[in-house]
Amino acid sequence: MRFITASFLIVIFSCAKYQVNANGDWCYEGNDCGPSHWAGDCKTGKSQSPIDLNSTLARNRADRKTLRLDDEYFKFYDNFFILNNGHSIQIQLKDTARSDCLMDGAGLKGSYIFAQMHFHWGSNSNVGSEHTVDGKHYPMELHLVHYSDKYDTLVSALQDSNRRAVAVLGIFFEITERDNPAIQSIVNEIPKVREPEHTLVAKPAQGRLNLTALLPRNLELWRYEGSLTTPSCAEKVVWSVFRHPIGISEKQLNEFRSAKDSHGKPLVNNFRPTLALARRVVKYINVDQLLRKTDDPSNEIEDDPDASESTTIDQHDTDSHGHGIDHENDETHTHSGEDNSIDSNKDSGAQRISTPLLSILLCIFLCCSASQISKILQH
């Protein structure tokens, strides 16, 4: 009984500590809340993001691909939702993280629904992006977050075991002398959400928001399987990071830097350091066409017959910089569960006591998981 009670208290304490980290008490720069203190998959995962995209390591693909977007993607939106969640500036087309925008092609398996987009930037223009290219940071990186149309919501997608449940398009920014009109409608609204946790429907005074205008003209990209870059760092993401950046002026970037984080400090340097590539493979994909789905006569989708299963990651070693080194053989790694059975030789009264307690512990675990997932939409 004492052992069970002690275990009960330990689990409650551990769960509470985990919830604090997963529910928003995390930061990018700090001795007690920075990336080195992030819990869960952030600490123990083997397929974490971001990574350094080393152009000499990317596997070339000779075939050309077409990225297809439905008509909703090409629309100009007068109204959208903008949020300062204390960690980034986030944009949604609806008051929930979903939309009518659908994407497929470019080597993706199945179709994906646009949920939200958010930005990562630095205190100066030498840093800011989460992914790096040959060790180089860009001053800003945009993430367009999508989830598979097999799911009702982004939350349900992240709760599944599918390692390709979420698809994120990563877009780099480089400094230009002129303002970029494609993001001006967002820049116009940042002064209204400088303080964190404010949501509003934006009605831009200049220009309108168009998602396709945020894509670079040259659509060559890197593709790899990874994770969310904020807690919970769930390893359910297929990343497509475009090789070529789009523009942003220092004036526009300074508007992002004027926002405050969840601790009331300047919201800058909101990027996670790069992680080791480990056993993964980075593929280079030449996307030579961007089409409306209605204009594509083939109307074919590359389906994913194994969507409910985890993807086998190619066997690699890593060098001192965390970059992958190919080997000929692949391995599939499995994890064995722990034996939680009750010893039949134990006192029957102890069994009667432990059963409800185990149920309570299970409920606590589920509550922790649900709490973790509930914050994903805000990060």
Residues noted as catalytic: 87
237 bridge partner residues: 166, 226
Q: How many other C-beta atoms are found inside a 10 Å radius of the C-beta of residue 283?
A: 16
Collapsed DSSP state (helix, strand, coil) of residue 65: strand
Which region, left, alpha or beta, applies to residue 269 given φ > 0 means left and ψ of -120 to 50 means alpha?
left
Type of residue at 347: D
User: How many angstroms separate the CA atoms of 165 and 146, rounded?
Assistant: 9
Q: Give every CB contact of residue 74 below 8 A, 6+ residues apart in sequence.
A: 210, 211, 212, 292
Collapsed DSSP state (helix, strand, coil) of residue 324: strand
- What is 238-268 written as a DSSP string? EEEEESS-EEE-HHHHHHHHTSB-TTSSB--
Contact by Cβ (8 Å): 93, 102 = no
Six token digits for residue 105: 């092609």
DSSP-derived pairing of the beta strands 140-148 and 166-175: antiparallel
